[in-house]
């Protein structure tokens, strides 16, 4: 006889303690210290582990590669912000494609959402991160997205080991 996972609805075999699809406990008690991996970044209820990036090096690499590294940087900071905020938001690659398709309009919305995500993550993990959503929005409207990347990376570096 089979049973179903209460978290994702996946059918699991009798006697199994964890769902094979989502990893949720099937014993009726939730494991509050479970580790969630989002885009290769481990995240549990107590901390999140991100690599620390040099902002100056990222700017130099963006200039030297004529913006190619900036695309990579955009994708990575989007994925890392999703990981620290525990949101299954738009992935970095999809966010980049939406930014291209909408001729930058999605990038304005993206900037505002990044400010909200980082602020909520800062509150959750007791990190000194202000609510910069409006600042990111204004900088994005005036075409200063690279400054947004720097400010976002600065906030994400607070979550590094």
Phi and psi torsions of 44, nearest 5°: -125, 180
Number of domains in the chain: 1
> Domain for residue 123, yes or no?
yes
CB of 140 closer than 8 Å to CB of 107? yes
What tokens were used for 151?
């400010």
d(CA 7, CA 144) in angstroms, rounded, equals 42
Question: Does residue 10 belong to any structural domain of this protein?
Answer: no
What is the Cα–Cα distance from 75 to 115, expressed in whole angstroms? 16
In a domain, 71, yes or no: yes
Look at residue 103 and tell me if it is in a domain: yes
Name the E strands within 14-156: 36-38, 41-43
Of 85, 81, 106, the C-alpha closest to 96 is 106
Residue 2 in any domain: the answer is no
Q: Is residue 39 part of a domain?
A: no
Cβ neighbors of 115 (< 8 A, separation 6 or more) are 131, 132, 133, 134, 135, 136, 137
- Return the closest-CA partner of residue 81 out of 156, 131, 150: 156
- Residue 4 domain-assigned (yes or no): no
So what's the pLDDT on residue 30? 44
- The residue segments making up the domain with residue 128 are 55-157
pLDDT tens sequence for the chain (161 residues): 567 777 667 777 777 776 776 666 776 544 444 444 544 555 555 556 789 999 999 999 999 999 999 999 999 999 999 999 888 889 999 999 999 999 999 999 999 999 999 999 999 888 899 999 999 999 999 999 999 999 999 999 998 86
Rounded to whole angstroms, the Cα distance separating 141 from 20 reads 45
pTM for the predicted model, two decimal places: 0.71
Q: Is 37 inside a domain boundary?
A: no
pLDDT at 113: 95
């Amino acid at each position: 006889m089979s049973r179903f996972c209460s978290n994702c609805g996946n059918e699991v075999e009798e006697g199994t303690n964890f769902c094979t699809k989502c990893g949720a406990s099937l014993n009726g008690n939730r494991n509050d210290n479970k580790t969630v991996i989002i885009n290769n970044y481990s995240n549990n209820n107590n901390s999140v582990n991100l690599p620390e990036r040099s902002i100056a090096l990222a700017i130099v690499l963006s200039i030297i590669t004529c913006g190619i590294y900036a695309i990579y940087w955009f994708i990575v900071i989007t994925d890392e912000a999703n990981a620290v905020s525990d949101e299954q938001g738009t992935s970095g690659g999809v966010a980049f494609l939406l930014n291209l398709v909408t001729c930058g309009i999605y990038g304005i919305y993206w900037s505002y959402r990044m400010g909200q995500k980082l602020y909520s993550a800062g509150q959750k993990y007791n990190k000194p991160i202000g609510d910069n959503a409006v600042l990111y929005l204004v900088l994005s409207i005036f075409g200063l997205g690279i400054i947004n990347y720097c400010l976002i990376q600065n906030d994400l570096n607070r979550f590094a080991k």
